[in-house]
Structure 1
Amino acid sequence: MDAGAAQPVLAIDLGGTQIRAAHVAPDLTVSLRRAVATDGAEGPDAVIGRICAIAAQVREDAGRSGLAEPVGVGISSPGPLDPWRGIVVLPPNLPGWIDIPLADRVQERLGLPTFLERDTNVAMMAEWRYGSARNADDAIYITVSTGIGGGIIARGEPLQGPDNTAGEVGHITIDLDGPICGDGMQGHAEAIGSGTAIARDGRLLLERGESPILAKLVAAAGGREVDAALVAAAADAGDSACTAIYERAYVAVGVLCASLVNALNPQVIVIGGSIAEHHPVLREVARSEIDSRAFPGPARRVRVTSPRFTDDVSLIGSLPIVNERMHDPAYRRATISSDDSSRGVTVGSLAAPGGGQDQLEEPR
């Protein structure tokens, strides 16, 4: 969908630490931003209350500012989730969220059609429709941040899979004897190349006394918990052990990219996220690993690039999602009228394509 043919939307980005909301116009202007701490430990009801409160504030601000009324709400959320029914299934960083009908809950409060999608798929939509992957029929978006995630466009369509887990590229195994990932499996790309993995390896250096520069930085920071930023600072200060951690992380992402090139033959791979943003050499290493590991033809074809959008990618991606899914029977959501209620009509989307499922299975 061309941005010029779209209608404005109310975009919500639900993260493990922060909830953001904004008005997104058809010209991609993101305005009236609001944010609040997620405080996920308080449980789903409290978090949903905060989501609805800041979204309502953005909507009120839009009315006062003379901006066009949003036609619907798009929610970017950690997965796994069911986008067809608008249900958050079991996100690891939101305690107590098990089969939460988030889209229905928000729609009931705001009175606008509401659609839910996994955060990395939302980012992919932003870059594919309007950004660095625009006009590509086959594209991959990879975010390298606290974790590693992704979204895939295959033959001009978003690749979702029946459980909407397609694109979970961070959980592809790249080292049979590698470290344990957060999901309990061994050797995943996320277990080596993510910010969480970098921080873990930095802490191991401290425990073994193998990084004096990192030890000094931690002490100077008042005993602050080691994170990827501290490991990077130690590397920049000349700590060879910390430099090696980052170099291994870059190669891990590059090996992942080479595997994806062989498997999916994309025209472009967009690599975003905070690690990639602060360390652009990551994309150079990924390019090198693709050239040395992937089939020559697909390797020559694929372009590795930075995203057009950074912080707003999970907001802008809701623009095409809301506009397109409002007219798609697989996702259509309608507010219950009093007449519908008396006939027992329920709020919610139609069944997922192919008949749908009563319950999504947890990823294995």
Structure 2
Amino acid sequence: MARMKKLLQFLPDGFTLAIVAMVVVASIVPCYGVGAVIFGHLTTLAIATMFFMQGARLSREAVVAGLAHWRLHLTILACTFLLFPLLAFGFSALFPHLLSPVVMLGLLYISLLPSTVQSSIAFTSIAHGNIPAAICSATFSTLLGVIATPIAVGLLLNTHVGSTGGEGFRGVGAIFAELLLPFVVGQLLRPWIGGWAARNKHILKFTDRGSVILVVYTAFSAAVMRGLWHQLPLSGFAEIILANAVLLAVVLTITTYGSRLLGFERPEEIAIVFCGSKKSAATGVPMANVLFGASTVGLVVLPLIIFHQMQLMVCAVLAKRYVRQYEAELRASGMTVSLVE
């Protein structure tokens, strides 16, 4: 029986299986047209609800502490804008002919992108990490990326940056409207609804995981409609998957053990792992449409789309592992273990 329980710990949970199922469903029945618009609105609603509930639950002291955690923020930004490019461009310099040029270009483009906001915070919440710090770091990463990524692409990838101002300002507006505004409203209403939000933790669990699943379906549907399964031969897909897997594994290893070497506690380690290892497809795909030519953009964003799905699946497994560690600590301290929030 003990051996069976140990084996079951390594099997995917329902959340991970749901993400895989969404990839399969999106490949067979992608949403498009009116359906894509409806699912886009549902995704926005789920994300806004998640941030509203986070704002309603978090104490003002916790938010201020998250803003003041400058050492953690610098570590996450260094992972996003220094570690990733060093790894990708270093790999390109050492092994210039190991990958095809288009796969290498896509890999380099991934390294220059900002972190995700929604999924980074959702996984940090699921794993019982430092949520206020994750919100601050992930949001600032995206805002900085609106400016830094086009410049870096223009300088390092020898492309014409072009007119990115409109896209950038739309991205900033979306961040404030869909993420920060609901969080601020939740904070302002906390004196009246904070107790209710604390008693209804299952709503936050639903919005955390539901928003990730919706993002997977809508993002992968868009990729399928762009001809995801027809743009490269099977060997090309194998190259992308292998290169992405190696990059993600190296970054996750460095963020996990590096945060421990730097003396961060587990909640901060979780924020570093989930914010510092992510790259935003929501920012990267529309930005690529402006930065690259029409004949190149599809193949450039293909590695990003696959990396995006891969990071969600891997982080779902990691979040489950952190939850098990959290519950084990509660048992060791004699506290009652609750369901995963």
Q: Which TM-score band (shorter chain)?
A: under 0.3
TM-score normalised by the chain length of structure 2: 0.26
Larger radius of gyration: 1
**Larger RCO (CA under 8 A, 6+ residues apart):** 2
Higher percent of residues as strand: 1
Higher percent of residues as helix: 2
TM-score normalised by the chain length of structure 1: 0.25
